[in-house]
Chains A and B, each alone.
Chain A
Amino acid sequence: MTLAQESTSLQFECETGNYHTFCPISCVAWLYQKIEDSFFLVIGTKTCGYFLQNAMGVMIFAEPRYAMAELEEGDISAQLKDYEELKRLCLQIKRDRNPSVIVWIGTCTTEIIKMDLEGLAPKLESEIGIPIVTARANGLDYAFTQGEDTVLAAMAHKCPKSVKEEEEKEERNAIHKLLNFGRKKEDISQEESEYKEHPPLVLFGSLPDPVVTNLTLELKKQGVKISGWLPSKRYTELPVIDEGYYVSGVNPFLSRTATTLMRRRKCKLIGAPFPIGPDGTRAWIEKICSVFNIEPQGLEEREAKIWESLEEYIKLIRGKSVFFMGDNLLEISLARFLIRCGMTCPEIGIPYMDKRYQKAELDFLEKTCNEMGVPVPKIVEKPDNYNQIQRIYELKPDLVITGMAHANPLEARGINTKWSVEFTFAQIHGFTNARDILELATRPLRRNNNLKELGWEKLVKEEAKI
């Protein structure tokens, strides 16, 4: 009886939190590239700087639009005034780079010495004339991709509101109309008619531009119009967000942003599975459509066609098992997709589990497991890497998705690994990119298939048994 129960409903566990992940300040690496007119200033110590420098690899040399405000002993002991110091550095940034926004990333150290960044920012902002966004992306509170969440939550406050009366807006926009002169009226109305009537929808989550275009087109096919995207390509193009707008997240780690949009900007959150994998993408679109009372068109065929094109990859993993050690919060969605591909998954490690924000995704995971007839995974929040490795030795999974600290040692012990960070940087959203997820997930298996004949699996000497 208990056994049957265990296999159909999700169980959650929480371990010690001794696990390896990237520091959340790493979000500057992809956000500065996404928001083209921004400058990220990480206010921290040498440790933060050293991490960024090493984690970013080659990017560091390309004159990045980010830098460290490296705290010195005088800053720690408050012999130097924070305000004056930050002003000096921000003026230097303004002079050299002239960004449209400076994002301050607060770190562990600024937390501990209680540097009041949120208080200093508005003052300095008005003094130097550049908007300053403050995000506390520190390792005391957050893991890896949650860094983006703190930045986007802070940016949500900076999104403009629209001018109230629609007619008044028309009048003010007389110049705009003038510019449209010559463009045929039918063109405009035809463009509008491609969309169905629905309240404005803003999506949140930073994705590479090609993926943004791709998801926008998918929704356009259903007549759903995206009014804006948080973040947009430029800070100056942040979307209008008014009370009553609908919002939807594209990534599983954006719970603070979602909360901010709901509570502070009075938006309605469409809680859906995330558009990762063809199953996730379809569920995501269906959920959005259902909220807007739109009957989705041709989604089933579209999904089926994508699965068909993936068969070559799926053959390699069907019936195999995957173990997520957990470090970037994409784990639930990826596991759900891989289970749909025919894999089994004994354990999903995850740094932090927001059961409300991820509710639809969790339900979808459970449903997927039941439909595929496999046991539901154990979800381990704040995992303990040491314990996990003992479990990996016991379970002998066919694939372990893990951070770089463990990848080589596991490979040397004959265990296939995929480096988890790649899923954060690769394009994995939408129907089109499902192939890329599988390309990543099957790479170790394909590679090791090639080497199979050589008998080189275990490359460490047997350890003496105690």
Chain B
Amino acid sequence: MTKLLLGRYLPGDSWVHKLDPRTKLMASFYYIGIIFLANNWQTYLLMFMATMVMVAASKIKLGFFLRGVRPMIWLILFTVMLQVFFTKGGATYWSWGWLAITQYGLTNGAFIFMRFVLIIFVSTLLTLTTQPLSLADAVESLLKPLRVLHVPVTELALVLQIALRFVPTLMDQTTKIMNAQRARGVDFGSGNLFQQMKAVVPLLIPLFVDSFGIAEDLATAMDARGYQGGDGRTKYRVLQYHRKDIVAGMIMAGLTIALIFLKA
């Protein structure tokens, strides 16, 4: 469980760390959007360079990003293989029945591979440089226009914040309960599938009980502190755009223009 890198925050003091979380969130989504504009070597090279510059600006070692790719590697390889074997066109290098390795297939495979890696890099960058709570703030702030449609944005944000706040707590609790049951002779992750599923019961039931306990205590505590929900509550963590954020926006715009200019 501790090996999972996606969704973890790495404290730091870089240019990227200090950006407004809304900027980072929007820029990440935007980046993932414009990556689909890339369709030739020049554009992919440009996107690759841009990503590397962002990674460098975050002052986080490249190794962590590569580690972020690792859990997805089989999905990536599977997709790349599909592209390589099933794309027709250009010179054919090898074929067997309806399988063929063609020139287009190979380039498509390489492009898809790049696309995956860059998307994972950028989303890893987002979570590694942004505290989960600021991310929740950013989501709340960005969803605000939906209030017109009577979407309970503040409540959703509260749910998100509480959920994020309790991820580490529940992780700790999971480890503790696993250890306690291990000490009572449970072997997690061994035996056949059925045995493995059965071994999860002594973990899940206490975890559920504990979560409901936490929820109830927290609700009472919030009540006791005068929480009534709804609008009209003030905000303590106020988000503010700075010059950096404008620069980041301009970089994204510049990238888009360059992409449109370079794409085939």
* Mutual binders A and B: no
Interface residues of A (CB under 8 A from B): none
Interface residues of B (CB under 8 A from A): none
